Structure 1
């Protein structure tokens, strides 16, 4: 891999995508494991106010907080982490691993930034891994606004409205998307059960609560206290 080019592309666009990065066998194993978990525990972990205002209907699971994790085939994959080294050149740390499940017929995720872009040096890195194909039939496509990590705060507007210049992707099984936390992104409505995972990382020295406040087009939301801390109109 040309790690210099990878880094340049990421910092120019705010994201970079690698298709067929992980094997079908590993993805099938992990997809089954994730679905088994959700089959037993499909409960919302957000308030009704959050779901209503954010247009987000995603059920999170943090496997490394609850057990020994069991996804080390991704978490400790040498090239996966070497790419992270190339992007975050001055060192980095794992933040957390989050599995995301969306029920058929749910809204997906509205436009958001994972953390406020007040300080360009304080951000998270999403490392999104897809354990099954995202297709026309599944819905749940990821939508990214290129170069938005350099654009400041997400503009006010309706949570799911399209933004000129957005790009829509249907990642296939084994695809990895490295995405800057300040880059505007969303997930389109989900037609059949959808799974994705996020092995979040941060530059070394970044506060552990960097993703506690999320920016939406209509509000800023603080997860630790389950409250809207700012209405955006």
Structure 2
């Protein structure tokens, strides 16, 4: 794999996409394992206030926190981690592995930044892995606003509206997206059950709670206390 362009692409646009990164057989195996965990009709884990205010309907699962290292083939993949080495340059650490499930008919995720951009040196790296195709029929497209990892705070406004300059992506099975945590992004409404996974990493020395406070267009929300820290108008 030619790595020479990756760093420039990522730091210019805030993300970089690799299609066909993981083989379909592995993705099918993992997709089944994730669906088996969630079952037929999993319950929302967030509060009603969070769902109504944020425009986010995603059910997270943190398998490694439960002592279930089911996804080590991804987590320890040498090419996956070599790209992480290039992007983060210095030493880095795994933050956590998070599976994300959205029920058919749910709204997806509103515009957000995973962590506050007030200190530009503090951020997380999303390493998004897609275990099935995201299509027009499934919905749940990921929407990224390029270069906004350098644009500061996500402006207040309507949580889910289209923004001029946004880029709509429909990742295929096996696709990986490396995405800067300050880059504005969202997930479109979901028509069929949708899965994605995030093997989050951070530069070494980054606080473990870097993603505890998320920036939405209408609020700052703290997950550990299920608390709206600030209303944004």
Q: TM-score, normalised by structure 2?
A: 0.99
Structure 2: stretches of 5+ with no match in the other structure: none
CA shift, 1:40, in A, is 6.5
CA shift, 1:4, in A, is 3.3
* Residues 1:83 and 2:83 are matched in the alignment: yes
Residues 1-233 of structure 1: pairs in structure 2 closer than 5 A: 1-39=1-39, 42-233=42-233
Where 1:69 maps in the other structure, the secondary structure is coil
CA shift, 1:5, in A, is 1.3
> How far apart, in 2, do the equivalents of 1:136 and 1:2 lie?
31
> How far apart, in 1, do the equivalents of 2:226 and 2:160 lie?
21
- CA deviations on 1:34-74 (whole Å, 9 max, x unpaired) are 00000067121110000000000000000000123210110
> How far apart, in 1, do the equivalents of 2:92 and 2:67 lie?
23
- Equivalent pairs counted in the alignment come to 233
Cα RMSD for the two superposed structures: 0.8
> How far apart, in 1, do the equivalents of 2:217 and 2:30 lie?
33
Instruction: Answer with 193-202 or 64-73: which moved more.
Output: 64-73
Where 1:3 maps in the other structure, the secondary structure is coil
Structure 1: stretches of 5+ with no match in the other structure: none
Where 2:84 maps in the other structure, the secondary structure is helix
Q: Which runs of 4+ in 1 moved over 2 A?
A: 1-4
Q: TM-score, normalised by structure 1?
A: 0.99
> How far apart, in 2, do the equivalents of 1:207 and 1:40 lie?
36
